[in-house]
Amino acid sequence: MSPTDHEIDHLPQTLGTALDQPTDDALQGLCASHAAPDLSDALEALPEELMQRFFQRLDIACTADIYAHLQPDHQSRVLKSLEEEHASRLIAALSYDDAASVIEGLKDDHAETLLEALPNDDQEALETLLGYPEESAGRLMTPEFASVQPDWSVAEAMDHLREQHELAETINTIFVITPDGELLGWVRLKELLLSSPTTTVRERMHTDVVSVAAEEDREEAAHRISHYDLDVLPVVDDNGHLLGIITVDDVMDVLRAETTEDFHRMAAVGDLVLSLRDASMQLLYRKRIGWLLILVAVNIFAGIAIGYYEAAIEAVVALVFFLPMVIATGGNAGAQAATLVVRSLAVNDIQLRDWWRLGGKEVLVSGALGVTLAAAIWISGNWLGDMQVANAIALGMFFVVIFGSMFGMLLPFALSRFGFDPAVASAPLITSVVDIVGILIYFAVAVAILGL
């Protein structure tokens, strides 16, 4: 019987009570009756000392899967609290991709000590994974996969899979390889189970293989799993030899990390590897102050632009009333356009070559938005000023909205073209640039129409 929502909500208190007991029976019972992700969430809600005590007291068979679901910062701290032998056994119990992720987050000396304590086969496999670039598919894969050879009979293949099932992360999809490891195709376990024992694997093999190179970006691996609706994606070398696999759960972690990173960058916040709950005030300050100082410096130019039109402001004070509204609207329009483009680029919904097509569409859309917003502000301008002032304000709004929208739409393309993350086209950056240029546009239009 699965735990109720009420039991899961009170799991941290239940764990705390069990940790206070002299025996481990209650803790073992909780391990058996609750899913590892629920237990990891509950442990993260406890004081650090209690979390560490949990992993110190229980055996690896109970704690390994729970440990794999902890946040990276908690994983590192738990590992440091364990004796070296205990820590190495915990790492050895993880899948290779999870173990590589943990070791990657440790300091070099601690990581080296742990690697040396592992069995030779595990040490070699982890060093291979860690040798790939940090954001690559190779770093994300696990070398634990099920494979068969094309000339085997179904009976031979099934005997082989029974022997290897504990070593493979998944056997629902089985890859067909040559004796030297070249990837030829794939077959479902269900297809083998329903086939005659004398049928060869080649007769059931699918040759429409979708794979990813080990050196390719992990986001590309996530895109292919999503686009082709795969459960598992093979990772190959330059010669087409199968090196490992990436599974759906790996991709979910990638998408979560990349989405979090994009949100941080679009809000002009530095990459935050800790959860917000666990991040210190000093860390949050450091991650936020840099961009804010840059934006303050940028906005100095907005003040200079306003000062340049001081005479126009003295002549028609009503222009100042509408300046914040016009500038904010232009920045908001730019942020909207940028968000749509950044998201579409991230999920490969659009390519760099689509910039001109989307640019033409955005001209029409921003023009329609500009007309609508200009009409809205014209009514207010006519009420607070006169017809001529209303015309100047409305026309200024029209051009500022068009500029903001086009800038917000094109900037992510430009950043991608030169190899930068388009998420850097953050709302604060766009609005700051639109502030400066928008002020110049707004007053230039007003001066021209009002003859100032």
Q: What is the pLDDT of residue 350?
A: 83
Domain covering 281-450 in this structure, CATH number? 1.10.357.20
Cα–Cα distance between 141 and 421 in angstroms, integer? 24
Amino acid sitting at position 274:
L
Directed axis angle between helix 72-81 and helix 84-93, to 10°? 140
| Residue 411 CA: distances (Å) to CA of 173, 335, 344, 408, 431 | 42, 11, 14, 6, 12
Evaluate whether 214 touches 141 at the Cβ level (below 8 Å): yes
In the chain (452 residues long), the average pLDDT of successive 10-residue segments reads 72 92 90 92 91 92 91 88 91 90 85 88 91 91 93 95 80 94 95 94 95 92 88 95 91 70 58 59 76 77 84 82 89 88 78 88 94 90 78 93 93 85 69 88 91 74
Tell which residue, 315, 300, 292, has the closest CA to residue 426.
292
Extents of the domains making up the chain: 5-134, 147-254, 281-450
List own/partner pairs for 70-73 with CB under 8 A and 24 or more apart: 70/40, 70/43, 70/44, 71/44, 71/274, 71/275, 71/278, 72/101, 72/102, 72/105, 72/273, 73/105, 73/273, 73/274, 73/275, 73/278
The answer to whether the predicted template modeling score (pTM) of the entire model surpasses 0.85 is: no
Q: What pLDDT, on a 0 to 100 scale, did the predictor assign at position 72?
A: 83
CATH of segment(s) 147-254: 3.10.580.10
**Which two three-digit tokens encode residue 38?**
């629920």
Residue 343: how many CB atoms within 10 A of its CB?
A: 17
| Three-state SS letters, the chain | CCCCHHHHHCHHHHHHHHHHCCCCHHHHHHHHHCCHHHHHHHHHCCCHHHHHHHHHHCCHHHHHHHHHCCCHHHHHHHHHHCCHHHHHHHHHHCCHHHHHHHHHCCCHHHHHHHHHHCCHHHHHHHHHHHCCCCCEHHHHCECCCCEECCCCEHHHHHHHHHHHCCCCCCCCEEEEECCCCEEEEEEEHHHHHCCCCCCEHHHHCECCCCCEECCCEHHHHHHHHHHCCCCEEEEECCCCEEEEEEEHHHHHHHHHHHHHHHHHHHCCCCCCCCCCCCCCHHHHHHHHHHHHHHHHHHHHHHHHHHHHCHHHHHHCCHHHHHHHHHHHHHHHHHHHHHHHHHHHHHCCCCCHHHHHHHHHHHHHHHHHHHHHHHHHHHHHHHHHCCHHHHHHHHHHHHHHHHHHHHHHHHHHHHHHHCCCCHHHCCHHHHHHHHHHHHHHHHHHHHHHHHCC
Distance of CA 199 to the CA centre of its chain: 44
Report, at the CATH architecture level, how domain 5-134 is classified. Alpha Horseshoe (1.25)
Full strand arrangement of the beta sheet holding 183-188: 147-148, 173-177, 183-188
Pair 174, 187: CB distance under 8 Å = yes
Q: What pLDDT score was predicted for residue 304?
A: 85
Q: CA 59 to CA 233: how far, in whole Å?
A: 33
The count of C-alpha atoms lying within 13 angstroms of the C-alpha of 264, restricted to the half-sphere facing its C-beta, is 17
Task: Retrieve residue 409's tokens.
Answer: 């739409």
pLDDT at 106 (0 to 100): 84
Residue 275 is predicted with a pLDDT of 59
